[in-house]
Amino acid sequence: MRRGHTLFELCAALLLASLAASISVPPARALLDRMAVASAREAVAGLIAEARLAAAEHGGASVHVRAGPWQAWGEIGDSTFGRVALEKEFSVTVELPRSRSATELRYDVLGLGQVASETLRFRRGGAAATLVVSGYGRVRRP
């Protein structure tokens, strides 16, 4: 009785495995891009919700989103909270209206926004997600 496999059988198995891997890699990469974009969007949405609560508690708060590298954080007076490194943690970039590189969302003592509405578009690879912050500070995910 013979044990083991011939060289031809091993090559055929490797060929089939490599074909299966090459077919499944692009959809997996697209899925990872979509997941990273959604995670970054939800991290910023959570930061905005936290800032609105902190504004009501402390008399005002703000959320900053800035490029170089892209990051977001909240401020209450002189202290910061909830720093999210969007580019470092998620490999995500943010598009702001009018090609700006930074924005600030301010909230008053009632937790209401003090600026006009803002649209944040998160991108990674071919995936994108949008977060719209209304003039009142509410968050919408179109």
pLDDT above 90 covers what percent of the chain?
67
Q: Which domains, ranges and CATH numbers included, belong to the chain?
A: 33-140 (3.55.40.10)
Minimum mean pLDDT range among 63-67, 79-83, 115-119: 115-119
Tokens of 38: 């959604």
Closest by CA to 104, choosing from 67, 56, 65, 61, is: 65
Q: What is the pTM of this model?
A: 0.83
Per-residue pLDDT, 71: 96
More confident residue, 24 or 71: 71
More confident residue, 121 or 22: 121
Q: Is 137 helix (H, G, I), strand (E, B) or coil?
A: coil
Closest by CA to 120, choosing from 20, 42, 68, is: 42
**Distance (Å, rounded) from C-alpha 57 to C-alpha 139?**
19
Band (pLDDT 50/70/90 cuts) for residue 1 is low
Per-residue pLDDT, 28: 82
